[in-house]
Structure 1
Amino acid sequence: MATRLWQLLGDAGAVYRRGGHTALTRGAFRYGRQRLPVELWPELLLDPIGAADRRIPVQETPDIQLAYEGNYRESLPRPLKAAEGRTLGAEGAVYRYDDADVVGRRPIVGVDGRYFPPSWLGVETAFFLHQEKYLKRNLPLTWSLRTLLGSGPDRAIDTGFLLLGERSLEFPAWHHEVLPKLQFLEAYEEQTGESPTLIVNADLGQFHEQSLRLMGYDPDSWVDPGDGAIRVRKLLVAPHPRRARGTHLHTTALDWVGERIRSNLPDRSDDFSKRVYVSRRDAERRRVRNETEVVDALRDRGFEWYEPGRLDYEEEIALFSGADLIVGAHGMGLASMFHASDAALVELFPRGGATEHYFLTAAERGFAYEFLSCDSIEEGGNVRARDRDFVVDTDELLSRIKRVESAVETHSDGETDVQSETVR
């Protein structure tokens, strides 16, 4: 009990440091909501695919063969090894729900009185089995009472397309999992001649709006339910390409998203290095403890260090779009690497804390990939292996960089590192 209480206090402190009183109050409210009796909440829709009124094929999506091509297979982390093999393209169809309700700030979909989180559609992983918890966290408390009293949604639209995911507010997930859905929307529009309204989370930030504008969508093209609900005569939901460890990974249209965003950027004259070291020095976890030593060693190889979180949105795109060799610890700072046209990535992990996300991203973009597992620093309790600070062996890092340089030279001579499979 004492351990659990200490952990809760630690979590509350972290929320306060990130977002202040407002975030802490909101977090406490959500925590309390989740402990209300199940009977107070509407029924879950456990088979949203089966409940759809129509399935509409709109495009073909590529599969790839995900394989580690480096020289250190004997020490390849288990999550990367488990991710190897055929990686599926997300299903190339959208599902239509007639007369659906879209409810809440992080929208839940209601169909004939039953509800489901739309970001689960097409995802069969243990990551999404906590449906009841998600519903209780995000469906407004007042909605059940309103429906009992016969009070309907606040607004109505004819055709809507859901552009969201469970983690829509996070920078990496927004770009890697949500924006690719716009390709489904545009394929649907071309096929049908319809122009659905985008339905998004209520709490979009500056980078969400900037990215949507650069994708060609102005604020007049999207709406959110706020604290209420929207009745949609024809609601379109694309399968969610969530990547979860231990399951089938799904590729996305990252190349399409990156090309669209970059094509709409104004001309810039940023002077960024083509060799980029991504720093996490101001992060709360997964920091490189001997970073000064690492930066000094990399500088001799032509690298400059950057903190992407301190750049504005367009600067971050420019940084990565001009990069040809990227080194950094796994984390949000690497999220924009997909903007590079032909690069290599050396990803740093604390030992025992590898994860496959950027391994897949590199494969999707055809980048050479290498990893380095580093000695982690075990301080305090209840810290996951992937979140521990660590120390980099600079000699080993330089050795792996040289290996990647050789792979890039080979790749530029015409060999292919990632082979595409037949489209689905």
Structure 2
Amino acid sequence: MTFKEQVLYIRRHMKKNRLRVFMTILATTMGTAFLIVLASIGFGLHETAEREILSNANITEVKVWADQMEEKDIRTISQLPGVHIFAQRSRVTIPDSVYFNEIESNGELELIDYDIERQLDFKLKEGRFPETDREVVVGYHFGESFIDGEKKDVLGKAIQYVIPKDGEEEDGEQFEDTFTIVGIKEAPAREWNSDSTIFVSRTYQPQIMDVYKQFEPAEEMIDSLFYNDYAIHAKSAEVVKDLKAEIEALGYNTYSVLDEIEQFDLFFTAFKMGLVFVGTIAVLIASIGIFNTMTMAVTERTREIGVMKALGMSPKLIQRLFIMESAWIGVLGTAIAIVISYGVSFLANQLLPLILEFAMKDEGVVDAGITFSTITLPLILIASTISIAVAIISGFRPAKKATKIDIIEAMRTNM
């Protein structure tokens, strides 16, 4: 019997018992669809979490935790083969204040190198970059950061920077300087992040130090005048791990978004495996139907099996026919389940945010971009393998039983 003849034989018998076969395929479809949809929740949440991490981080960035890095170490790190850009930002640690038309702001000064920042992801919503150290760019929310609660149009306007001595702004000695806002930075990637920073050129740093030396001549106080943030940008994501190891060898602690992604990957891998395991139980329940269907098929074809044996058909071929039939049920059920799963996944991603937004009275759920379900190729392959393998195993015992039917007894039966 050729392979084509074997396929025709299987199709003929499946058509002969359409209702029973249909119900068995339906059970397989439901079990496999449940497995895919359930596991897709893990894949969807994993995708959302990873996207959330990367939305406000640079995958090639390595941050160094150090209040003050030694100059020799800065030069050493800058010259490492994998380093693309070495960026340093500094915040003033002394009490200071910023005023706009005599109204105080919550904005803080941050000293940056604009030439370096422009090579990174520092983008403006409007305005231009500074050309002198008295021109500044402010964060997207700076116009909303004033203590009177009113939003102000600050582009092109002047602000006053005040450093008081001993915290006495009104009656005590103080230093005051004026900056002009020439640009407004692009909004943060995460909507709930507020950015009211005042970005000043690093060329202004010596003037702050000179002023503070007059107020506080102690050398140890001068050394703690700034809090520094160091960020090393690698040439590619592939060298980040080696770059971190080289920096840590110098005695510094580092952080990379890849560290967080690795932790998330480990957690979600275990989570997805758990969901696949639970979903597999549904497929195993469906396998009971396949087993019963194939057992009935063997019983009904007892006389036919006897005839095939009498004509010289080998037991292996008879066994293969029944295993192929159970496998075909698994294939059909899996194929239909995949189509249904994509539909359920699409509806879940469209409707669940609306339902949650209505239930929680929160208008930001839809805009949050949460992916509740994602069906990936690996998930399809895993689910298909489990479903078809279970179907084949379910038909193995009835197929084995068919090979042991006695020819004489088979020929006596009326079935």
Higher helix share: 2
Q: Which bracket does the TM-score occupy, shorter chain normalised?
A: under 0.3
Q: RCO (CA 8 Å, sep 6+): is it higher in 1 or 2?
A: 2
Question: TM-score normalised to the size of structure 1?
Answer: 0.21
